[in-house]
Amino acid sequence: MSAPTVRRAAGAADRAFIERCGVESLGSSVSPLREAPMEALRTNFLRLLEIVHSRSHAILVAAEGELRLGFALVVFDLPDEVTGLSQAFLAYMAVEVGQRGHGIGSLLLDACEEEARRHETPYLGLMVTEGNAAAQRLYERAGYRTERRLLGKKL
């Protein structure tokens, strides 16, 4: 079998995979502070896909041959909300459950950075849920540092 690669332009045939894989990974994106029914998470993920498609973006798919392993959604026209500086924003990334821990996330993150450079954006921003330790380790190993924290409190 060939080594995993990243396709830069996801096609229409990838949409069902992206929706399924994205929805299956939503649990790692929800803070333990917030209770959300699965249907609301699914609806909001599909809304995110619509938002990404309405902006300057790239959808990257990691695959090994015809087997899709993960994907990333990157937006290029969403400046940093505090400084106004140009940035690419990693809106969502997911790896198939059975493929995690095999470097697919790193492969996708490297491809996102490459796309950001290609679009001449000086930064790549992203958000990660506080409880998603595996994703935090991936980003820290790649040189990402915390800039801000979103705090919440259940009332």
Q: What is the pLDDT of residues 12-62, one digit of tens each?
A: 889 999 999 999 998 888 888 888 888 999 999 999 999 999 999 999 999
Check which CATH number belongs to the domain holding 126 and give it. 3.40.630.30
Q: How many domains does the chain have?
A: 1
Alpha-carbon distance of 27 to 36, in angstroms, equals: 10
Coil vs helix vs strand at 96: coil
Using pLDDT thresholds of 50, 70 and 90, give the confidence band for residue 114.
Answer: very high
pLDDT confidence of residue 34: 84
Burial of 26 (0-12, 13-18, 19+ CB in 10 A): middle
The per-residue pLDDT for range 48-77, each reduced to its tens digit, is 999 999 999 999 999 998 899 999 999 999
Residue 86 lies in a domain: yes
Burial of 101 (0-12, 13-18, 19+ CB in 10 A): exposed
Phi, psi for residue 50 in degrees, rounded to 5:
-60, -45
Residue 152 lies in a domain: no
The boundaries of the domain holding residue 21 are 5-141
Domain for residue 146, yes or no?
no
Q: Please indicate, yes or no, whether the overall pTM of this predicted structure exceeds 0.85.
A: yes
For residue 73, being part of any structural domain is answered with yes
